[in-house]
Structure 1
Amino acid sequence: MKTNALSADTLPTDTAELQKLLLAERTRREQAEAEMARLHAQSRIPMLNPNPILRLDALGKLLFANNSAEGLAQELRTSGPSRVRPQLVHAATQALRTGEVAHSEVVANGQYFLLYAVPLVEEQTALLYLTDVTAQRLAEQENREQREFYETILAHLPAVVTVLDPDQHYRYVNPYAEPDPARRQARIGLSFANHAHGLGLPEALVARRHRMFERAVRSREMVSWEERWPGPDGRINLYWLCFYQPIFGADGVLREVLCYGLDITIRRQAEARIRQSEAEIKAQQTFTNLVLDLNPNLIWVRDAQGRTVFENGEMKAQRRHIAELAGATSMEAAMNKDEIQVAVEADQKVLRTGQPLTTQMSMRLADGTLRWYQTVRCPLVLADGTTQVLGVSTDITALKQAQHAAEAAATARENFLANMSHEIRTPLNGVLGMTSLLAKTGLNEQQFNYAAIIQHSGRHLLNVVNDVLDMAKITSGKLELEQSAFNLCDSMGNAGQPLVLQAQEKGIRVVGTLLRDSCPHPWVLGDSYRLNQVLINLLSNAIKFTPVGGTITVGGYFVSETADTLTTEFRVTDTGIGIAPDKLDTIFQEFTQAYADTTRQFGGTGLGLSISRALVQQMGGRLMVHSELGKGSSFSFITTLPKASAEARAAALAPLAPVQSAAVRGARVLLVEDNAVNREVAQLLLEGHGVVVDEAASGTEALEQFELHRYDVVLMDIQMPGMNGLEATARIRAHTDPTKAGTPILALTANAFRADAEKYAAAGMNDTLPKPFDEAELLRKLASLMAGGSGPLLEKTTAAESASSPEPASTPSAPPAAPAPPVPRPAPAHIPLYNLALLHETAHGSVAFMNRILTSFHTNTPASVAELRTALAAADWPTAAAVAHRLRPSLRLLGAARVAPHLETLESAGATDAERQTATEGFIEGLTALLEGLPERVMA
């Protein structure tokens, strides 16, 4: 406002004019005073504003601060360290530099402020307006923590949880539904139709989801249904229990739909197993409908003091139910104290270890009902660093009942098979034996034909029983696979060689492709015997169904490899009768063959391919077939096996290090062996190294010797008449003298495979020594046991198999489907009757040692020949196999290679009766020739 001062020079001379001027001056003064009063009143507005107001110049100097900004003004006036001052000065200078209003958020003294910087460019100052939003930010933080809390629960919930927008697009997907974070994020904004298309799910699932979504929105209520998805392998279906829960806003508009999915595949499978009658089906359906009406999971959160901080609706309903049944005021009052203590200890373990914990607990309700719950507890770390326990309990009562029913059914089946095996095989042996004796009497042609029919039928029935038992062993999950190093090419080649000779004898041409042609280093870890069993079965079938003049092609082919695995394919192709297309799916079924007359024409039980397929699947592969009727068939399987390390190959190939005699000299051992030749060999070997040897021919005699003396090691044979080696070992381990009870025991056996080794270890034996006795191996194991080392029984067994078995790959103990009985072949003329090289090496040139062995063989073998003749007459093949097993070490020591094939057949569990009969006859003939040609003494 301008003020015009009156001077003497300007004063008017006229009195009226002067009065007029004075009045105007008074009016202006009054207006100025009013304006000043108004401005003064307005100046109090920013001072009394509850929000801070500051004015800073371009250099950040404080020019003005209202009363509410006094705390901030002090920050600006001080020169010490401050977190607020730089933010305020930066906001002011930034607004002056840009000439625009800027806003940001600052935190000062625990308060949150929304800051607006208004530039006054002409005056080079800036006004800072701060609004206190502390309450709003604290509320937002509380909401955020609450949201994180529920999202943490959803993240740990073992069920699929998703949220759909009104257009049925995903807004949220929990980790259980999609564990991969990138894929989970990629699903946001997509529809279920997009997701189903990516998984290859049927369109019917998409259409049904759409209908259920519309029904939930239309009814404004939760809807539930069950879905069936095809499994990853195309065979096993996956079952899902699904829920749609629509969520509407206060204005009645649909905001989102909560989707919940529970995997009930295991429950469906359990229901299928225990479903026995219509009444049970109806009861199970009623139970299922009840489960569908409620969330089957009990979800809760407890703090470190055991206080419940969260429960879902089902948990609350369960709590009320348990309390009402017991007439108690709370669930805890109705529970057993031991049950509560178990739950408390489980919570404390999770809090102490920080690791998830899965437990199963039963609860007896007041009405006598026993409920089983499986609970998954996880540590739940909150934003403030405290840890609570998140628990998800699932009612598994039905699953437990199904498990018990399945276990009872499996036990009943095993008992039934064992009883039927005994009840069928025992009279069959009598029938076959008596029929064999009857055939040797004076029968006319018709009577002889009748006897032959009885024998053929009985042997066929016995083969059926054997195959059924083998298949039962596979389907019951009791088949275990070896994991040892072997050369895949050599192993499969050795396995197929005997069948190649059989095919050539039938007049079939065999063409082969060796694996080493495409894979120069086929060393792997696995079960060579089971792989050989599959190949032998495929070759046997090819020979069986290929006519004379046909061709069989056998090949091993390299497929691929990685740094750790080798993938190979083995294929057997024939020019036989072939299989019709509509029969290809049935040939792998148990007791099923392609044609009804196959058994009559070619024999077999229809289990060979089933067993082979099961073996290949257990090894992670697949058995495939391609065939054309009248033109032949091609069977192949691909397996991926771990590569054998250089150390494993070296261990399988390298000879064991020698053991000095000093390590065992002076030791006293008890040799328990029913075969006199084997006792003689072991005694001579050990005595040559200064070992004192006491002999026992049976388990009973061994126990008598054991009571009289103390031994450093016991060499225990397994198969002995009367008390066998396992029974004798159990008696020794139960001795009252702890020192004697702990005497090391070395198992002596010609069948040192893994299953046997596990049985021997369970009986208390320390290690296994395969027969015939290898001097270096015998001394090494004795030295190890005397030094206090029991040795890894199973690992040593694997080495023993490869070191001692003359043809491990070609002598499977349980070959699959039996081919037609082979025609007995005379021993090739170039194979000598005996070879004493190994005996000479074992005796270290000692003529006395060799003569004692030869004398013992001539003395004891005639009794074994007589025993074989008796077994042959009675068709007592177990006895013939036992004699072969007993003589095997002696025959190998003498180099009697001509009788080796007969030994393999007699000791093979899968050989037919016709094969055993032929082998027994050949074995008797070979032993007789050996006794006639083998010298009783050798000259120096």
Structure 2
Amino acid sequence: MLNAPLDDFSPAELRDLLLAERARREQAEAEIVRLRSTSRIPVLNPNPLMRLNAAGELLFANPAANKLVEEMQTTGPSRVRPQLMHAAAQALRTGEVAHRELLANGQYFLLFTVPVVEEGYAMLYLTDVTAQRQAEQETREQREFYEAILDHLPAVVTVLDPDQRYRYVNPYAEPDPARRRARVGLTFADHCAARNLPLALATRRSQMFERAVRTRELVSWEERWPGPDGQTVLFWVCYYQPVFGPEGVLRTVMCYGLDITTRRQAEARTRQSEAQVLAQQSFTNLVLDLNPNLIWVRDAEGNTVFENAEMKALRRRISELAGIESMEAAMSKEEIQTSVLADQKVLRTGQPLTIQTSIKLANGEVCWLQTVRCPLVQADGAAQVLGVSTDITALKAAQHAAEAAATARENFLANMSHEIRTPLNGVLGMTSLLAKTGLNEQQRDYTAVIQHSGRHLLNVVNDVLDMAKITSGKLEMEKSAFNLCDSMANAAQPLVMQAREKGIRVLATRLRDSCPHPWVLGDSYRLNQILINLLSNAIKFTPAGGTVTMAGHYVAETEDTLTTEFRVSDTGIGIAPDKLDSIFQEFTQAYADTTRQFGGTGLGLSISRALATQMGGHLSVQSEPGKGSSFSFITTLPKASAAARQAALAPLAPVQEAAVRGCRALLVEDNEVNREVAKLLLEGHGVLVDEAASGIEALELFEANRYDVVLMDIQMPGMNGLEATARIRAHADLRRATTPILALTANAFRADAEKYAAAGMNDTLPKPFDEAELLSKLASLIAGVREPLVEVKATATPPVTTPATPAKKTASKPRKAAAPPATPLYDLALLHETAHGSTAFVNRILASFHANTTGSVADLRAALAAADWPAVAAVAHKLRPSLRLVGAARLTPGLAAVEAEAATDAERQAATEGLVAGLEELLAALPAHLNS
């Protein structure tokens, strides 16, 4: 810059001055550019830069320090601001550069503080070391993790350097921390010398070390160390794993040692017990092979895992008889499927299963097996099936023989009962009529003998039938409400009179004296039968002047049951002690001459005990010869509800015709005679009847009309009654689908009634039916109640009795009396009773019978010629109600024979031929009409 006036300078000097000034300006501009470029360095620096004065005021900060600037400028509490201000003040005070770590906003910084004392400020340089600190933390945590594993690992772990010196020893190898630290830097040879271990261990380990380094692979070996007591031997297995660096230089060798002493000792014990195990296994196999049962094990896939000798023998037998190598190939698909399904059920449920199966052999024999299958779960959780099969072929044969014998016995008893009772009722009936005619004294005596003998024979037949029903399990018990005290007293009353006539004193204790409300549910008839049997025996075996005592006693009760005891005692002849058990056996009496002196079959006590047992009670006896006997039975019966008592006490009312008059019924019956009878009976009471002769015709009428009730026959050609019922129940109109259906059937057994109810029928009526019972059931169905509106008991003529007839035998008669006396071919008594005196009705039935039965005879002949036994049975079943209506009892056995499932072809042929001949004889003798 010029300080003198320009006039003082020459042009040359002025030029030099200008050039120098230009040079300085250019130099200054260059410096400005350099400074501008240099000033960008702190601005572009990714690390925070800050300038603070001694007072902590922020003089400069680059963009990377923005977050720190915010901390500096905040007025609230801050952990970072005091640290930065303190660092700047301390650096200016000491004049020295300082560094430290700083945590700000979750980041780690390395802080360098540079004082500029002459300017009065300090520069703060911060470097972000967060990633480095996190890596160090992860490395530290990883190291701690592996150290924790090594510290708790139940095995020896050491690390050797290339000179075979310890660099690391885990706590399992050396629990004491001081000794563990002392081993670092020593060799294994030094350790052996310090612990008095065999030097051979060190030599062996050195060799293994060299091998691992040379082969660069894992090496293992086994060592034996002396135990602490100097007697035992410790077994160790050791591993050396060399670790090389990237450049191929050996860095370390990892050593791992595992104590296998327990395993070696267990192996030694196992080897010592192998002989015992083999002996036990041989013994077990011997027991299984000598077992007569078939024992086998199959897995979940059906593969056989084990078989004993007996099972293998059966397998060989089956395959050899069939000429096939595999037993399964010789079995039928059904036999195999039964076995497979049984195995699957055991595996699915985990429960044992017992079934009986059969295998048909190639020679025609059938082998029956009863097999118990049990789930067998192995140690690995695999489920298998253990089977133990017993050959029950002989037992099955005996069972079938017994069943056949029982069936034959039942059939024989039924047939003999029918054949005896039918003429016997005729004898008794005609004798009763004969007794009412004018007879002289000798003839009356003869007639009385015939009556007494006939009644005695009838009672014997009744006892035999009762015993047959009990032993076959077919005796059905009723369950109705009754007063136990009154029922027993009424049943005993006739016998009391008989005893007094014999000169026997009778003493009685009523049940009501100890039980004021003896109303129960049960079978009063069978209970009375027990009491009457006991009382009848007491009177029979007690001489005149003796005493018979009857007593009913309260025993116990619960909220739902009543337990009572009835006792009958006498002062009669008594029973010897060695005879007390035998008197309850069938057809057995205490003494051989009892029947000759007193009569009887020896069945009364057997029947009484069986009845008491079936009702949950027990019949017992106490007796002493010459001093009399005392029989008692205890029963526990359900208490009758108040409603049941009221119903039992309500007087029986006649069926009101108004209950059915005007209703519309569909009568489905293929037998024209039965259809005619039912129609006439129903129309006589104002019922509108539509007839259908088949199931198909019935469905057509049902679709076209609405009915209050349907009377459905069961067995019909084409569609039977069960199928027609199913179609009605499936009707789209729900109200019509629920139309009441009454089954009409000749099979009036309980099992059949249950089957019909399951098929959708509301009630069952046996054919030929009683008029009152038919009307009662119809009224109940139309009213929509489950039970009949009125209890109807079929009228039947009981056997004629006289005071001389033992009352015990009277009580043993069956519920329903036998068929009325039959003429050789027919008896129209039931038809006349059904017609209510209407000859027109009888003539219509007779004409219909002739017309339909003639066609049935033709059908029987055609079926007989073709040996079509099902067709024969169908015709016979169809004829049964009609034949009963006209009283053709002689043909009933023929009907049963052709319908019997167990009959042979020869028996069916003979029965059918006899039935055809009997029908033709009946048609020739039966009038087609009666004169009015």
Structure 1 or 2, whichever has the larger Rg, is 2
TM-score range, shorter chain: 0.3 to 0.5
TM-score by structure 1 length? 0.47
